[in-house]
Each structure stands twice: as C-alpha cells, then as structure tokens.
Amino acid sequence: MNIIDKAVDILKDEPIATQAGNFSLLVFAAGFGGCLPPYISAYHTKAVMSGALLLLSRGYGLTYFSLNDHTAYTREAYERFCSLGDAFPHSLGFNTSSQRINQWYETYEPTVVASMNLNELEELIIQLYRECFYLFAETVFCESLDKELILELYEKAGGEKKSFDEFFIFASKATFVSLAVRQNEFLISSAPASAKQYIFADYFSVPEIEAIDDMVVKAISAKGGESAIKQEIIKKKKIAVENKKENNRYRLQLDAPLQVLFDFVQLCMLMRDSRKDPLQKLITLIVTTARCIFINVGLPIDDVVYAYQADFFSGHVLAPNYIDELKRRKEGVAILFSPAEIAFEYGNIESLTKVASDRLEKNHNGDIAGTTAYRGLVRGLVSIINTSQDFSKFQAGDILVTSMTRPEFLPLMKMASAVVTDEGGVTCHAAIVARELKIPCVIGTKNATRLLTTGEEIEVDANEGIIRRFSMRT
C-alpha cells in the first residue's frame, strides 16, 4: 500500500483540513511530533491524531489532516478548563515552556552555538526538538476553535441562541497586544541583531545572523519608519485597553457557566497569538544548531532544510550516505504521520499532490462556506497567495485567498479588500488581524485556495461566511 492509499484509508471518512505555504522538513514537520505520543499524551487522554499527510517539494508544503482530530483536542481541553480553572495544565505547561525557551534563546546566541562541538550540538538539537513537541502538545487545542463549536458549547452552557451573536463578538475580541505589535516594538528597540533574528523566522527557516541588521533596516522602512511604527503601537495598545474594558463589562452580565466559556475563548486567542513568540525562537535555535551540525560533518549548509528531526535523534545525519537521502528529499517527499507509523515516500510530488487532492477533497462547484472573522460584504478579484514568492503578484484591492496568513502577510492584508483562508478558527492570525484592520474576512473554508482561481471574480459575504463565485478576469 503506497502512502496516499494509507492516508486515504485513515482520513477517508473525516472532514479534511489543509494548510499550505513555505514549509520545510526541518521546521514544519516538528509540529506533528507534538501531536503524537508520548508528548500529546501528557495533555490529552481522549483525543489522539488519527493521521496527517505532508507533501513537500522545494520549499512549498501542503498538509492534510482531520478536522475532527483538532476539534477533539479543543473539546477535551475545554472540559479540563471547566473543572480545573487556574490549574489548567495546558496554561501551566505553556508558561514553563515559554520561560525555558526564552532562557535558551538568550544563552545560545549564534556565536555560542558556533563554538560548540558536535556532541554538544547533537544534545542541544534533541533538547530543542523535544521542547518543540511539548509546545505543540500544550497548545494544539487552541487552533480549531471556530464559531460553530463556540455556539455548541454556548448552548450547552445555557446560553440563548438569540444572544449568541453578541456573545461571539465580545468573546472573539482581542484584549491583548498582538504579536505584530510586540515584534514591531522590539524591531525598533536597541537590541542587537542576535536578539532580533527570531522575528524573521518562519516555517521554512530563518535568515543567517549576518543578514539581520540589513533586514531590520528594510523592515522598518517598509513599515513607514520608526515614527509611523511608534504611532501604530500606541494606537493598537489603546484599542487593546478599550477592548478589555468593554469585555470586562460584558462578561459581568453573564451567568457563571458562560463566563467560563468566555474565558476559555479569550485564553485560546491569547495562547495562539503568544505561542508564536517562543515558537519563532525555537525555530531560530533549531535552524542555527542544525546548520552548525552540517558544517561540522561537511554537509552543504543550504540542504539543512531537508533534514528531519529523527535524523538527529538516531544519528542518521552522521551516516556516510546521508547526503544521498538529502538529494532524494530535495526532489520532493511525502510523509504520513500516524500513531502506528511515520512513513516516507519519494517521487513526483506534483503527481502525488494531484492524487491526494482527487481522493481526499470533495468536488465542489458552488458557493464556498467558512466562518466569519470580521463582518462585511465585498466583491472583487481573487489573488491566491500561499508563499512569499507570490507576494509581488498581489494588487491593492484584490481579495487575498490563502491557506493561512502569518506575520509576513500583514502588508498584503493591509492592501486587501477582503481575506479568505482555508485554515483557522477565531484564534488564527487572519482572524485577529482582520478584526484589527476591520476588513471582511472568512476563515476555515478548508479548500478555497484549490477551488478558486487567481483573477476570478467573487463576492465575500463575511456577514454569512459565504464566498459566491462569478466570473474570470480576462
């Protein structure tokens, strides 16, 4: 049985969610480790990942996974939150992980890592990956909280459906200073390049330390200069303070069970946003350490993104034929993650992707539905953007359609008339930023990037969470 057959066998009866973007085996695949035993078992005893398929080829990645799996994590976490409150283990674990990662990031700056011997580097990268697995295990529950699930929990908590829209508006309103604001504040600080390097990390890699000073200058300029950034920070902090006051007033009107749900939604949003900071620091440390290992063993440093976490745990990275394995992965690799096995297959990833799409995605010729992140009605032209290489194709006023947004998408979101994503619940980056920018946004459509086409005219009805299709640009 080939890897697609195995994935279909596991996922055939499941509602499928997808993510796509600039992903590497070195970085992005680490998230799946946190969804498997023994790491996920530390926080979830009922929910377990049935399986996930990851397709990677030359910097672009696409993954399929069960939406029910992710929702199960959220349900179980909510049950524990209701019973444990301040002793909620996910929060306690996340706080401990964040403190440890911050300490490591200060300790293992690039010059320190470069001075370590091979044994020390191997020990460090294993430690970093394990922390990454636990970070995802602690926080995966906050990823799939959407309006539909909140409504279900709201009614179970005794809420009246006629009052739900008001509850949802307040519960999904950010009362914290977002990652984008925090990182902008750090960007214009006097901190050295080694401290700011993580700001530029993504799910593919991180720029080398020598490039950071120049990237900081360019980033500040692209945002309008220090003065404009400072003004934006003041504005966003003021909004967060006002949102908190409004939310506190509204929360006091709720019965106790609804207050608990309200607090859970707010926690999910805060944790999803806060996770990005330690995660980017971990990515920076992992990539920096892996580069030094490759230098020590005489491997091409540019090929480090094709290394897999198990290569370091098993010592396979030291094998004489390891470079041949890297060459195979450069051409493309498909990976199936499941509790039973982690299986690899090599070959024509474009062909495997088409087969996976045909067999895992439902045919769909009508309207596309998702969850409203910010209300509004916009008609315009689609621009599908999944990787940073596509950014230059985006035109002001286009409707941004993407698998999921990340901090580097912010300039495009400011130019967009509306945003549509495959992935995401109320805690995702797109939802939080859309509410800040006040632009119509529909999230969690599951497959808009593969059903729509760049240049196609659509209507984004973010009041109803519907995307209506019209015609192609000529």
Q: State the average pLDDT over residues 26-39.
A: 91
pLDDT surpasses 80 at 474: no
Could you tell me which residues come within 8 angstroms of residue 53 by beta carbon, excluding any fewer than 6 positions away?
3, 4, 7, 11, 63, 64, 65, 334, 335, 336, 337, 356, 360
CA distance 66 to 10: 9
Helix (H, G, I), strand (E, B) or coil at 400: strand
Confidence band for 141, pLDDT divided at 50, 70 and 90: very high
- Mean per-residue pLDDT of the chain: 92
pLDDT in tens, 181-202: 999 999 999 999 999 999 999 9
Q: What is the CA radius of gyration of the chain?
A: 22
pLDDT in tens, 167-185: 999 999 999 999 889 999 9
CA distance 369 to 315: 46
Query: Which pLDDT belongs to residue 333?
Result: 94
CA distance 383 to 397: 10
Amino acid letter for position 247:
N
Query: 181-192 burial, b if ≥16 CB within 10 A, otherwise e?
Result: bbbbbebbeeee
pTM: 0.90
pLDDT surpasses 50 at 144: yes
Confidence band for 358, pLDDT divided at 50, 70 and 90: confident
CA distance 415 to 400: 9
User: Residue 260 carries which DSSP code?
Assistant: H
pLDDT surpasses 50 at 109: yes
pLDDT surpasses 50 at 123: yes
Q: State the average pLDDT over residues 238-267.
A: 97
Q: State the average pLDDT over residues 351-365.
A: 74
pLDDT surpasses 70 at 9: yes
Question: How many CB atoms are closer than 10 A to CB 130?
Answer: 16
Q: ∠ at Cα 264 (262, 270), nearest 5°?
A: 105
pLDDT surpasses 50 at 473: no
pLDDT surpasses 70 at 471: no
Q: State the average pLDDT over residues 210-229.
A: 95
pLDDT surpasses 70 at 92: yes
Cβ atoms 160, 253 nearer than 8 A: no
Query: Which pLDDT belongs to residue 362?
Result: 62
Confidence band for 366, pLDDT divided at 50, 70 and 90: low
Helix (H, G, I), strand (E, B) or coil at 339: coil
Amino acid letter for position 453:
T
pLDDT in tens, 294-349: 999 999 999 999 999 999 999 999 999 999 999 999 999 999 999 999 999 998 88
Query: Which pLDDT belongs to residue 350?
Result: 82
Could you tell me which residues come within 8 angstroms of residue 57 by beta carbon, excluding any fewer than 6 positions away?
331, 332, 333, 349, 350
Residue 460, H or E segment? strand 456-461
Confidence band for 423, pLDDT divided at 50, 70 and 90: confident
